[in-house]
Amino acid sequence: MRSSFEEVLTLQQSWTSENTEEMHRRGMLIRNEIPKVIRHHRNSRPGTDGDTEALEVAGSDGAGRKTIIPWVRIFSPARSPSATRGWYLVYLFGASGKSLYLSLIQGTAKWGNGSLVSRPADELSRRAEWARGVLAAEITDSPLVKQISLDTTAQLGRGYELGNVVAFRYARGHLPADDVLLRDLNFMERLLEILHGALDSALSIPGEPAPEVSDATIASRNIARARVDGPRFRLSAAERIAIERRAVQLASAHLISQGFAVRDVGATHSYDLDVTRSDSRLFVEVKGTTTDGAEIVLTAAEVELHKKEYPHNALIVVTNIALDSTSVPPVAIGGTLYMIRPWEVSEAALRPISYRYSLDQHDRGRPS
Q: Tell me the per-residue pLDDT of 161-211, one tens digit each, with 9 for 90 and over.
A: 999 999 999 999 999 999 999 999 999 999 999 999 988 877 778 887 777
pLDDT digits (tens, 9 = 90+) for 209-243: 777 777 776 676 666 555 555 566 778 888 889 99
Residue 71 has pLDDT above 90, yes or no: yes
pLDDT at 228: 54
pLDDT category of residue 54 using cuts at 50, 70 and 90: confident
Mean pLDDT is lowest, of 39-48, 196-205, 291-300, for 39-48
CB-based contacts of 134, cutoff 8 Å, min separation 6: 194, 195, 198, 202
Residue 46 has pLDDT above 70, yes or no: no
Neighbours of 339 (CB within 10 A): 16
Strand, coil or helix: 2: helix
Residue pair 353/218 in contact by the 8 Å Cβ criterion: no
Residue pair 280/317 in contact by the 8 Å Cβ criterion: no
Q: Phi/psi at 266 (nearest 5 deg)?
A: -60, -25
Mean pLDDT is lowest, of 22-31, 276-285, 325-334, for 325-334
pLDDT category of residue 50 using cuts at 50, 70 and 90: very low
Global pTM value: 0.69
Element (H, E) at 56: strand 56-60
Q: Phi/psi at 247 (nearest 5 deg)?
A: -65, -45
pLDDT at 117: 81
pLDDT at 279: 83
Residue 134 has pLDDT above 80, yes or no: yes
Rounded distance between C-alpha atoms, residue 200 and residue 214, angstroms: 11
Mean pLDDT value across the chain: 88
